[in-house]
């Protein structure tokens, strides 16, 4: 099992779509603002930038929780471990705090047993303090746990926001002891346009983004919002200090309409969900 390690902060800075000079500036701003959890992936093509931003920050490595993910083309036995080692080189670290399978192998091109075994091996080699899965369906999560054995995975990262609360997947994952990170927690900016969320924000003297993030954290999700706006980077972090009324929590709970926003061609067939 994984050794004791830095606990994942409840809010992190997501680096999806953050590239180039602007992306590097955003990462540095996030670290300066106080973020100590940075989420990246091989597929984001910015691991080197994350590593450079952390190095430039002067913050000691043990104080920052780093998540990265192995992308589908790298799930083969020949590519898995070498590309994880390349990720570590780009990130300028000997380990990540959390290593995820970014997506299950499309159409099962790579047998799940192969990459789950490699994921566990990466942890055993010290390349990752903890391991988990991302974008898995309920049947695929069950299959992965059957391969790995209970208690091997610590984290599941899935799309969760007010309009897609992913309740069945959340219930299954938590029944198996997995913590959940919500990606796209602000529904790609749509929360700012919702009248109900705007009203909750006004009630609490906060932004729509802040109350949404506060709701998710109160429901025991870790959140990894991203922004290229320096003011919003600071505002999002402040959500960790916000407490919502019970009425506001119930209002958020009522907004679910199973509106999945991210479903690329390589996504697995998604689970059917109840209304």
Quote the distance between the C-alpha of residue 52 and its chain's center.
Answer: 21
- Residue among 44, 95, 115, 127 flagged as catalytic: 44
Residue 254 neighbours by CB under 8 Å, 6+ apart: none
Q: Please say whether the beta carbons of 72 and 105 come within 8 A.
A: yes
Note the pTM of the prediction, 2 decimals. Answer: 0.95
The answer on pLDDT for 3 being more than 50 is: no
Main-chain phi, psi angles of 155, to 5 degrees: -145, 145
Q: How many helices (H) and strands (E) does the chain have?
A: 10, 8
The answer on pLDDT for 63 being more than 60 is: yes
Rounded CA-CA distance 144/178 in Å is 13
Place of tokens 């920050």: 57
What is the structure's pLDDT at 22? 86
Is there a catalytic annotation at residue 115? Answer: no
**Cα maximum dimension of the chain:** 55
State the average pLDDT over residues 29-42: 97
What is the structure's pLDDT at 65? 98
The answer on pLDDT for 61 being more than 50 is: yes
How do residues 76-127 score in pLDDT, each as one tens digit?
A: 999 999 999 999 999 999 999 999 999 999 999 999 999 999 999 999 999 9
Residue 273's pLDDT band (boundaries 50, 70, 90)? low
Distances (CA, A) of 223 to 87, 124, 194, 247, 275: 23, 27, 19, 22, 24
Q: What's the first-to-final CA gap in the chain, in angstroms?
A: 38
Sketch the domain layout of the chain as residue ranges.
13-253
Rounded CA-CA distance 100/196 in Å is 34
Rounded CA-CA distance 60/57 in Å is 9
For 38, left (φ over 0), alpha (ψ -120 to 50), or beta? beta
Rounded CA-CA distance 38/40 in Å is 7
How do residues 118-171 score in pLDDT, each as one tens digit?
A: 999 999 999 999 999 999 999 999 999 999 999 999 999 999 999 999 999 999
- Average pLDDT of the chain to the nearest whole number: 95
Q: Give me the CATH topology for the region 13-253.
A: TIM Barrel (3.20.20)
Could you give the angle at which helices 112-124 and 138-148 cross, rounded to 10 degrees?
A: 60
How do residues 186-243 score in pLDDT, each as one tens digit?
A: 999 999 999 999 999 999 999 999 999 999 999 999 999 999 889 999 999 999 999 9
């Amino acid at each position: 099992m994984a050794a004791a390690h830095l606990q994942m902060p409840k809010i992190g800075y997501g680096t999806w779509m953050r590239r180039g000079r602007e992306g590097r500036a955003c990462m540095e701003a996030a670290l300066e603002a106080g973020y100590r959890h940075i989420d990246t992936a091989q597929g984001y093509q910015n691991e080197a930038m994350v590593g450079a931003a952390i190095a430039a920050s002067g913050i000691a490595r043990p104080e920052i929780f780093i998540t990265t993910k192995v992308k589908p083309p790298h799930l083969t036995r020949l590519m898995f471990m070498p590309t994880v080692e390349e990720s570590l080189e780009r990130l300028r670290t000997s380990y990540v705090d959390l290593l995820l399978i970014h997506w299950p192998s499309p159409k099962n091109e790579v047998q799940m047993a192969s990459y789950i075994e490699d994921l566990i091996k990466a942890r055993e080699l010290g390349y990752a303090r903890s391991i988990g899965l991302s974008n898995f369906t309920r049947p695929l999560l069950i299959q992965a746990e059957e391969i790995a054995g209970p208690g091997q995975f610590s984290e599941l990262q899935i799309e969760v926001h007010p309009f897609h609360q992913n309740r069945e997947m959340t219930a299954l994952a938590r029944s198996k002891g997995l913590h959940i990170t919500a990606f796209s927690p602000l529904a790609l900016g749509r929360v700012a346009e919702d009248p109900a969320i705007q009203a909750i924000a006004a009630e609490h003297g906060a932004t729509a983004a802040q109350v949404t993030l506060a709701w998710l954290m109160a429901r025991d999700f870790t959140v990894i919002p991203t922004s290229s706006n320096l003011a919003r980077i600071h505002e999002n972090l402040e959500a960790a200090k916000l407490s919502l009324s019970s009425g506001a929590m119930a209002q958020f709970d009522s907004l679910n309409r199973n509106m999945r926003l991210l479903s690329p061609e390589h996504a697995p067939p998604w689970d059917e969900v109840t209304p």
